[in-house]
């Protein structure tokens, strides 16, 4: 009997992929020095803070933890495919009905593993977007540090040399630093809100598609189980010949069609709010819309003549402050990771962020 471990021989794009082209492969899919288990999970998590600014340290750790989650999901997908193959191998030696149904169940389980693999790629979009918030936090930290440093210098001079002419100069620098910090903080506030909504939209859209397709496979799997005759027999009694080969093939084909044609608009599960939650949510959206009109402050201050007065200086312009990437941290702090493979992952993540 011909056995196949994939629902599709040609792997044509699904309707959902045509609507939303799939993302590039996840950066976690590079090989690892100590195999599939991902021994570096704990090291990556605890090393995440190294090289991070104080402001971005917590989010840097979250990004590392999400990488561990993705590698775990990748492992689950591979293991599920191996389980599917083993189920079919075991069932081959059973009676005809059990043999055929376990073969087809193996096809469905294998497809679940491939869906898990695809879900990892989509999940990576969420993680990369969260990383962009971390990078913004890193670039805002220097403006905070500069303002704090000038404030400390002024306090020290007022204590030691109250009449020092340098106090006036430092106070002028503090005004410029505060203006710079205001711009940086506004940028951080705006980008954080924009990116957090985009990131979790990526995650929830991917989770919705993944869950709906798994539920579809589960439904067709239960239809396959109905083909097994579980009527008890007495010793010496022979069961009727199995005649469900065409039925099992048709069920698999129906499942394939359902997965291929699935789009978000056909989702079976819809989250409906209660009247109270809907009213409160609408009130919040109305408040946001009113606040979006804002106030025109364009004429409040005259234009500054120099660069330092009010412009946010990015992190790259500050001496001693270098941008960093969590994959670079991983190379420095985890001896368990392969240097060549991680460098390829860094190049790929840089192209995604660009």
pLDDT tens column, 73-106: 999 999 999 999 999 999 988 889 999 999 999 9
| Predicted local distance difference test score (pLDDT) of residue 216 | 94
What's the average model confidence in pLDDT over 45-69?
Answer: 75
The answer to whether 323 and 135 are in contact (CB under 8 A) is yes
Q: Which comes out higher in pLDDT, residue 21 or 70?
A: 70
- DSSP, collapsed to helix, strand or coil, labels residue 337 as coil
Angle at 331 between CA 325 and CA 332, to 5 degrees: 95
Write down the mean pLDDT value for the chain: 77
**Range with top average pLDDT, 32-36, 66-70, 265-269, 346-350:** 66-70
Mean pLDDT of 289-308: 57
Q: How far is CA 208 from CA 108, 222, 306, in A?
A: 19, 21, 51
Nearest to 327 by CA among 353, 290, 302: 353
Q: What's the pLDDT score for residue 211? A: 94
54 has pLDDT over 50: yes
Structure tokens that stand for 141 in this block: 């930290």
Task: Find the mean pLDDT for residues 321-332.
Answer: 50
At residue 347, the pLDDT reads 41
Looking at per-residue pLDDT, the higher value among 237 and 351 belongs to: 237
CA distance 348 to 354: 10
Neighbours of 2 (CB within 10 A): 4
What does the pLDDT look like over 118-174, one tens digit per residue? 999 999 999 999 998 888 888 888 888 888 888 898 898 888 888 888 888 888 888
Q: Please give the structure tokens belonging to residue 231.
A: 């009527």
Domains (range + CATH), the chain: 15-231+243-267+304-353 (1.20.1270.60)
For tokens 């001896």, the residue is: 335
What is the Cα gyration radius of the chain? 29
pLDDT of residue 46: 52
Which is higher by pLDDT, 28 or 337?
28
* pLDDT tens digits along 208-263: 999 999 999 999 999 999 999 988 988 988 888 999 999 999 999 999 999 999 88
Mean pLDDT, range 322-345, rounded to an integer: 47
pLDDT at 322 over 50: no
Per-residue pLDDT, 314: 52
Residue 305 has pLDDT above 50, yes or no: no
């Amino acid at each position: 009997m011909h056995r196949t471990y994939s629902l599709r021989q040609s792997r044509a794009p699904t309707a959902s992929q045509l609507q939303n082209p799939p993302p590039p492969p996840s950066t976690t899919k590079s090989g690892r020095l100590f195999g599939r288990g991902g021994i570096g999970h704990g090291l990556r998590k605890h090393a995440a803070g190294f090289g991070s600014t104080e402001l971005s340290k917590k989010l840097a750790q979250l990004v590392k933890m999400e990488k561990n989650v993705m590698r775990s999901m990748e492992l689950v997908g591979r293991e599920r495919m191996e389980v599917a193959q083993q189920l079919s191998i075991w069932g081959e030696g059973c009676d005809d009905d059990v043999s055929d149904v376990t073969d087809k169940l193996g096809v469905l389980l294998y497809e679940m593993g491939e869906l898990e693999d695809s879900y990892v790629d989509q999940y990576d979009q969420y993680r990369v977007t969260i990383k962009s918030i971390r990078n913004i936090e890193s670039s805002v930290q220097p403006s905070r540090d500069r303002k704090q440093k000038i404030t400390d210098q002024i306090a020290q001079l007022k204590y030691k040399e109250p009449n020092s002419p340098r106090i006036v100069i430092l106070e002028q620098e503090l005004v410029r630093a505060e203006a710079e910090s205001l711009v940086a903080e506004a940028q951080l506030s705006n980008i954080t809100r924009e990116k957090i909504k985009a990131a979790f939209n990526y995650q929830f859209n991917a989770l919705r598609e993944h869950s709906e397709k798994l539920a579809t496979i589960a439904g067709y799997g239960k239809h396959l189980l109905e083909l097994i005759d579980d009527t008890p027999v007495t010793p010496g009694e022979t069961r009727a010949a199995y005649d469900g080969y065409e039925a099992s093939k048709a069920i698999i084909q129906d499942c394939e069609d359902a997965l291929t044609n699935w789009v978000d608009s056909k989702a079976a599960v819809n989250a409906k709010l209660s009247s109270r939650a809907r009213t409160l949510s609408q009130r919040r959206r109305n408040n946001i819309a009113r606040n979006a009109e804002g106030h025109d402050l364009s004429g409040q201050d005259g234009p500054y003549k120099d660069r330092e007065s009010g412009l946010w200086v990015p992190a790259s312009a500050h001496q001693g402050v270098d941008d960093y990437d969590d994959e670079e941290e991983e190379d420095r702090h985890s001896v368990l990771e392969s240097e060549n493979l991680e460098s390829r992952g860094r190049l790929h993540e840089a192209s995604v962020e660009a």
